[in-house]
């Protein structure tokens, strides 16, 4: 599960970046040759990718690659926002533990520091990403619902973290997103602390959906028509000169 992860990881990256056509038959041998390993680790990788819906497996007939469109990424983000909203609502209703509150407030401080001078350096993007992740993951964990946690984690197998990509395309958009993000985090936390589950859920959901704005923004930058949602995601992102690097 570790060294094989390299195989898995490479294959995954290849698929996400369009090394194979959508719907293309993916024989084990083809992958073996492409990666220079035997069938055993390839089979394991394909099984995992199938559980993430990146390839589609049929009994005794191997796998085909499932092309990821912009709409797929959009849809995954919608689901994520629904789940994160639910998590916030649950935490609000059950009450916020002291240490959870501390962690969230600390992440707000970090986030606030960053919001003061937005850069597009790798350092900044990493720090921003980290502070943002702490906030979101802390809330999900605090819901103490393993299925909820896992569902969101599984979604991350899709390329859901697109802000980082989008930021690179437009500094003003980055500044605006970071600053409004801070305000939204604050209002989510306030709602959770006041025990208002409904408000916390809606605020968190709305905030989470901001990722969709990033997609629309890229559409605008690239001047794409309304049919862009059917585009392969890697081509969409490729328009910015960036390749797809998803979590895990």
Partner DNA sequence: CCACCCTCGAATGTATACAAAGTATTCTGG
Partner DNA sequence: CCAGAATACTTTGTATACATTCGAGGGTGG
Which stretches of the chain are DSSP H helices? 3-16, 28-35, 39-51, 70-94, 98-116, 122-142, 146-155, 163-167, 171-193, 197-208, 210-222, 233-238
| Choice from 10, 34, 43, 164 touching DNA (CB under 7 A) | 43
Residues 20-39, mask of contacts with DNA (x by CB under 7 A): ------xxxx-------xxx
Q: Which residue from 16, 26, 158, 188 is in contact with its own copies, where contact means CB under 8 A?
A: 158
Minimal distance, residue 118 CB to its own copies, in Å: 30
What's the CA gap between 32 and 43, in Å, rounded? 10
Considering the complex, state which of residue 75 and residue 112 has its C-beta at the smaller distance from its own copies. Answer: 75
The minimum distance between CB 9 and DNA, in angstroms, equals 11
Instruction: Say if residue 63 is exposed, middle or buried (CB neighbours under 10 Å; 0-12, 13-18, 19+).
Output: buried
Smallest CA-to-CA distance from 178 within 108, 246, 87 is with: 108
Q: Which of 25, 109, 133, 150 is close enough to bind its own copies by CB under 8 A?
A: 150
Phi then psi for 103, rounded to 5 degrees? -60, -45
Partner interacting with residue 236 (select from DNA, its own copies, none; CB below 5-8 Å by kind): none
What residue ranges bind its own copies (CB under 8 A)?
1-2, 5, 40, 43-44, 47-48, 51, 53, 57-60, 72, 75-76, 78-79, 82-83, 86, 90, 145-148, 150-151, 154-155, 158
């Amino acid at each position: 599960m570790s060294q094989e992860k390299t195989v898995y990881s490479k294959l995954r990256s290849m698929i996400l970046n369009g090394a194979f056509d959508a719907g293309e038959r993916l024989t084990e041998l083809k992958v073996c040759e492409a990666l220079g390993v035997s069938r055993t680790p390839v089979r394991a990788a394909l099984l995992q990718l199938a559980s993430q819906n990146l390839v589609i497996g049929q009994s005794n007939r191997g796998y085909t690659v499932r092309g990821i469109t912009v709409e797929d990424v959009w849809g995954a983000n919608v689901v994520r926002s629904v789940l994160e909203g639910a998590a916030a609502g649950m935490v609000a209703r059950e009450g916020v533990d002291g240490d959870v509150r501390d962690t969230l407030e600390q992440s707000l401080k970090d986030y606030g520091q960053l919001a003061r001078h937005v850069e597009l350096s790798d350092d900044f993007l990493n720090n921003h990403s980290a502070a943002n992740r702490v906030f979101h993951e802390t809330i999900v964990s605090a819901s103490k619902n393993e299925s909820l946690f896992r569902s969101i984690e599984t979604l991350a197998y899709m390329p859901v973290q697109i802000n980082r990509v989008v930021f690179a395309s437009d500094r003003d958009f980055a500044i605006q997103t970071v600053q409004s993000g801070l305000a939204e985090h604050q209002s989510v936390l306030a709602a959770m602390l006041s025990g208002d589950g409904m408000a916390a859920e809606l605020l968190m959901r709305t905030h989470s959906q901001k990722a969709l704005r990033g997609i629309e923004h890229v559409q605008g930058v690239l001047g794409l028509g309304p049919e862009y949602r059917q585009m392969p995601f890697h081509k969409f992102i490729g328009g910015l000169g960036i390749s797809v690097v998803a979590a895990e």
